Amino acid sequence: MSTAIPPGGQRTLQKRRQAQSIKEKQLKQTPTSTRAAGYGGSSANILKIFTDEADGLSVDPLVVMFLAVAFIFSVIALHVVVKVTGKVF
C-alpha cells in the first residue's frame, strides 16, 4: 500500500513560486495594450487634455451640463410646437 502525499508542503510552494515568476516574466515582456506596444501613439497627449496645463478653451463642467439640458429642452419644445400647430407649413 502506497502512502498518499499530503496536500501543501514544499512542492506546492515551489510550484507557486515558479508559476509566479513565469507570470512576472510574461508581464514584463509583453505590452498590456496596443497603446503600450506603440500602435496608438503616446498616452501623455491624451492625459494632457484633462489637466489645467492644456492649451485651448477650458469650460466648466456645470456650463456643459446646462448646455446639454438646454439642447434637450429645445428639442422637446420644438416637438411640442409642431404637434400643437399641426401641419401649417
pLDDT tens-digit readout, 40-77: 555 666 555 556 666 677 778 899 999 999 999 999 99
Asked if residue 13 is part of any domain, the answer here is: no
Cell of 86: 399641426
Asked if residue 26 is part of any domain, the answer here is: no
Question: In the 8-state DSSP scheme, what is residue 5?
Answer: P
- For 27, 33, 52, 55, the CA distances from 43, given in Å and listed in that order, are 19, 11, 17, 17
Asked if residue 67 is part of any domain, the answer here is: yes
φ, ψ dihedrals at 20, nearest 5°: -65, -40
Asked if residue 9 is part of any domain, the answer here is: no
Question: In the 8-state DSSP scheme, what is residue 3?
Answer: P
- 73 lies in which domain range? 59-88
Model-level pTM?
0.39
Tally the domains of the chain: 1
Asked if residue 83 is part of any domain, the answer here is: yes
Asked if residue 71 is part of any domain, the answer here is: yes
Instruction: Kindly indicate the confidence band of residue 19, based on its pLDDT and cuts at 50, 70 and 90.
Output: confident
What pLDDT is attached to residue 71?
Answer: 98
Asked if residue 78 is part of any domain, the answer here is: yes
Mean pLDDT over all residues of the chain?
Answer: 76
Asked if residue 39 is part of any domain, the answer here is: no
